[in-house]
């Protein structure tokens, strides 16, 4: 069964008549979203709604998402979540998975950095959210611009410089899970260089985060991988810069003014956050806390 249910699918799933379901929708008593003129119902949110046993209509207006930031991993974000005392936990699984969890109501915030095979990467985050089914009420908040590149062992022993050199040298290359921002960037870089993914000597399985890639390089299990400058710097590895990217936070409009998110947003607008970004390296946080999109 799909994660987003249509009206007839949701009625069957809840064992209600469509008429009764429309009454709940009209009274804002069931979790749903209107997209391009039709109602969609996140199945996970419906499960929580039923499990909660909320019978009184007034109590059914919203099902709160758990205080979790899903999506992509980032060292500066991880530090800010801890130091801001916002009470938000972290669940780094990749940008696209973060958006899927946000749509289903599994997380409160999704951290994303998206890339395209062609087109404007600068607008990729906001345009993806603007067009995403089930996120018509989303807000995109700027967190930072980050420097991404190729992370290699100290001294760059294989003399790597770009995707072509990685392919020709048969260097052991890390990959990230499908839908992770770094994996999307890898695919975009290969497409622009007209190199097939199969031309690389890819290490398996996929590495969950940049620090996992750094550890594998330090241990000699792989030769290189896509990561941020901050990850390479903290691991004492060499870094070959490639691109600057947008790293943004996405949430529902109704959650933007919540206590946890507001504590985080206030913190990232402060001087301590800017100082930490400078220490880590590879960040531009001049737009931190800026609203980039209101759907």
Lowest average pLDDT, out of 1-15, 28-42, 177-191, 243-257, goes to 28-42
130 and 256 share one domain: yes
138 and 153 share one domain: no
CATH number, domain with residue 35: 1.10.1660
Task: State the average pLDDT over residues 134-147.
Answer: 92
pLDDT given at position 53: 56
Contact of 36 with 96, CB cutoff 8 Å: no
7-11 contacts, C-beta under 8 A, 24 or more apart? 7/38, 7/39, 7/41, 9/41, 10/39, 10/41, 10/46
**What proportion of the chain, given as a percentage, has pLDDT over 70?**
95
Number of domains observed in the structure of the chain = 3
74 and 24 share one domain: no
pLDDT surpassing 60 at residue 126: yes
**pTM of full prediction above 0.85:** no
Task: State the average pLDDT over residues 214-223.
Answer: 98
Alpha-helical segments (H) within the chain: 7-14, 18-26, 43-51, 75-83, 95-104, 124-131, 163-169, 181-192, 210-219, 229-235, 253-256, 259-268, 271-280
Q: Could you give the angle at the alpha carbon of 182 between the alpha carbons of 113 and 103, nearest 5°?
A: 45
Instruction: Dig out the tokens for 145 from the structure.
Output: 């611009």
pLDDT given at position 139: 94
Q: Which residues pair with 138 in a beta bridge?
A: 252
15 and 51 share one domain: yes
Domain of residue 226: give its range.
Answer: 148-244
Q: 254 or 282: which carries more pLDDT confidence?
A: 282
CATH number, domain with residue 194: 3.40.190.10
Task: State the average pLDDT over residues 56-78.
Answer: 78
Task: State the average pLDDT over residues 234-247.
Answer: 97
Task: State the average pLDDT over residues 122-132.
Answer: 91
Instruction: Dig out the tokens for 6 from the structure.
Output: 């249509």
Domain boundary, last residue among 12, 30, 60: 60
Task: State the average pLDDT over residues 268-274.
Answer: 96
pLDDT surpassing 50 at residue 59: no
pLDDT given at position 44: 84
Confidence bin at 119 (pLDDT 50/70/90) = low
23 and 155 share one domain: no
Q: How many of the other CB atoms lie within 10 Å of CB of 162?
A: 13
210 and 152 share one domain: yes
Task: State the average pLDDT over residues 132-150.
Answer: 92
């Amino acid at each position: 069964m799909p994660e987003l249910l249509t009206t007839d699918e949701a009625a069957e799933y809840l064992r209600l008549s469509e008429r009764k379901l429309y009454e709940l929708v009209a009274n804002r008593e069931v979790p749903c979203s209107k997209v391009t003129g039709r109602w969609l119902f996140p199945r996970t949110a419906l499960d929580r709604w039923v499990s909660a046993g909320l019978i009184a209509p007034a109590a059914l207006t919203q099902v709160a998402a758990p205080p979790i930031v899903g999506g992509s991993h980032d060292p500066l974000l991880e530090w800010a979540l801890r130091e801001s005392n916002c009470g938000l936990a972290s669940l780094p699984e990749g940008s696209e998975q973060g958006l899927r969890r946000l749509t289903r109501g599994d997380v409160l915030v999704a951290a994303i950095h998206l890339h395209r095979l062609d087109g404007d990467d600068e607008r990729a985050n906001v345009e993806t959210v603007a067009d995403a089914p089930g996120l018509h009420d989303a807000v995109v908040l700027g967190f930072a611009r980050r420097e991404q590149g190729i992370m290699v062992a100290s001294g760059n022993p294989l003399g790597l410089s770009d995707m072509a050199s990685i392919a020709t040298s048969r260097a052991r290359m890390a990959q990230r899970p499908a839908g992770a921002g770094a994996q999307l960037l890898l695919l975009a870089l290969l497409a622009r260089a007209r190199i097939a993914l199969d031309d690389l000597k890819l290490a398996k399985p996929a590495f969950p985060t940049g620090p996992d890639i750094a550890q594998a390089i330090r241990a000699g299990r792989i030769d290189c991988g896509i990561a941020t400058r901050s990850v390479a710097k903290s691991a004492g590895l060499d870094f070959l810069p490639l691109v600057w990217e947008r790293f943004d936070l996405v949430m529902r409009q109704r959650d933007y003014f919540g206590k946890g998110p507001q504590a985080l947003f206030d913190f990232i607008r402060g001087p301590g956050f800017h100082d930490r970004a400078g220490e880590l390296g590879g960040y531009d946080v001049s737009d931190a806390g800026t609203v980039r999109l209101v759907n």
